[in-house]
């Protein structure tokens, strides 16, 4: 197994993709809007990926946050609130906001489980700042670390109740970035004491099964390399100070914040201490180069994967409509 998660080009596997995936045996796959047509198509696609890998618990990821970040969209699937909506309720009724976030997470998870998706890239634990990039914006649960942790935990628990694994992101924090890492490399010059505030939600949820790194330079910790490529940040901040020992994946390796070829960036991320590389765009030449460049997954990373996926598919059966109704009743309090 290679420590990489690959994207797919369309609603069905192509012959070339099937051949590459069969040979490379990537750790998992990630789906985007181009892969999501309807329930029957998605279930057939995820079943095909499981059959191809030979692993019933192969991670099949999606970014289904709610708000503007949603790959499964209307009219086939309902819209979900942006995370900031729960932050608004938290200001008035914290316990109701937590209950609403959990019901929402379980509703999202129920929808994903129906089509065979096992991992959701949610929740964001990025603490909001007044001048943060719009790339985070209403995707954040707020500016108070305790609030972010509480709503993040509720979302994580809701997903788990539906048998879906959550990913906390963007570790060690993207809230102070002023530019969008999809397009350029953010640099954060805050002090260690200031950054300690951003770490708090991640410390609180250090038990999370999976986490995603931030393509951000933190000059207080490593002035030369973004967190994704920094052995210092991964070892001293993420693994030791936060205390996270789950499966650590990169954000999309093809984002413009990182320089070099996709294969070079992938190798550098694994060398820095990431467990797995995320490569989203289904470009055959790039996927082949990454697979050729990477060695087999390390035993420690494989153990983290197995631990993270242990709860996948073990959700309770609560009707989707009941969960949505509970969420909406609570959100009406705002």
CA distance 102 to 255: 31
DSSP code for 143: S
CA distance 118 to 165: 6
Determine contact, residues 82/138, Cβ cutoff 8 Å: yes
H or E element at residue 151? helix 145-161
In 3D space, the residue among 72, 77, 47 whose CA is nearest the CA of residue 62 turns out to be 72
DSSP string, 147-212: HHHHHHHHHHHHHHHTT-EEEEEEET--TT--S-TTTS--EE---HHHHHHHHHHHHHTTT-SEEE
In 3D space, the residue among 58, 68, 84, 104 whose CA is nearest the CA of residue 148 turns out to be 84
* Bridging pattern class, strands 165-171 and 69-70: unpaired
Count of CB atoms situated within 10 Å of the CB of 141: 30
Residue 217: strand pairing partners? 187
Determine contact, residues 26/4, Cβ cutoff 8 Å: yes
- Supply the residues annotated as catalytic: 182, 251
Phi, psi torsion values for 164, nearest 5 degrees:
-115, 135
DSSP code for 302: H
Residues in the chain: 334
CA distance 72 to 37: 8
H or E element at residue 270? helix 262-272
């Amino acid at each position: 197994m290679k420590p990489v998660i690959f994207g797919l080009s369309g609603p069905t596997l192509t012959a070339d993709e099937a051949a590459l995936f069969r040979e490379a045996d990537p750790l998992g796959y990630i789906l985007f809007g181009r892969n999501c047509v309807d329930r029957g198509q998605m279930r057939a696609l995820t079943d095909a990926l499981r059959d191809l890998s030979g692993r019933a618990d192969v991670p099949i990821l999606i970014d289904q946050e709610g708000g503007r970040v949603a790959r499964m969209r209307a009219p086939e699937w309902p819209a979900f609130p942006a995370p900031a909506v729960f932050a608004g309720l938290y200001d008035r009724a914290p316990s109701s906001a937590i209950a609403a976030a959990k019901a929402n997470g379980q509703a999202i998870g129920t929808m994903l489980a129906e089509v065979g998706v096992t991992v959701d890239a949610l929740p964001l634990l990025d603490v909001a700042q007044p001048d943060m990039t719009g790339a985070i914006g209403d995707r954040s649960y707020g500016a108070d670390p305790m609030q972010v942790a509480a709503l993040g935990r509720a979302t994580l628990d809701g997903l788990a109740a539906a048998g879906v694994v959550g990913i906390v992101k963007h570790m060690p924090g993207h809230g102070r970035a002023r530019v969008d890492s999809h397009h350029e490399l953010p640099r954060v010059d805050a002090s260690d004491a200031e950054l300690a505030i951003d770490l708090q939600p991640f410390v609180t949820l250090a038990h999370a099964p999976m986490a995603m790194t931030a393509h951000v330079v933190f000059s207080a910790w490593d002035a030369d390399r973004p967190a994704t490529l920094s052995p210092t940040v991964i070892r001293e901040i993420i693994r030791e100070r936060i205390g996270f020992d789950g499966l650590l994946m990169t954000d999309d390796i093809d984002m413009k914040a990182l320089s070099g070829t996709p294969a070079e960036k992938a190798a550098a991320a694994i060398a820095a201490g990431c467990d797995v590389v995320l490569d989203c765009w289904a470009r055959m030449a790039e996927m082949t180069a990454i697979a050729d460049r990477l060695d087999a997954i390390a035993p420690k990373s494989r153990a983290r994967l197995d631990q993270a996926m242990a709860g996948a598919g073990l959700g309770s059966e609560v009707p989707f409509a009941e969960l949505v109704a509970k969420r909406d009743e609570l959100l009406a309090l705002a």
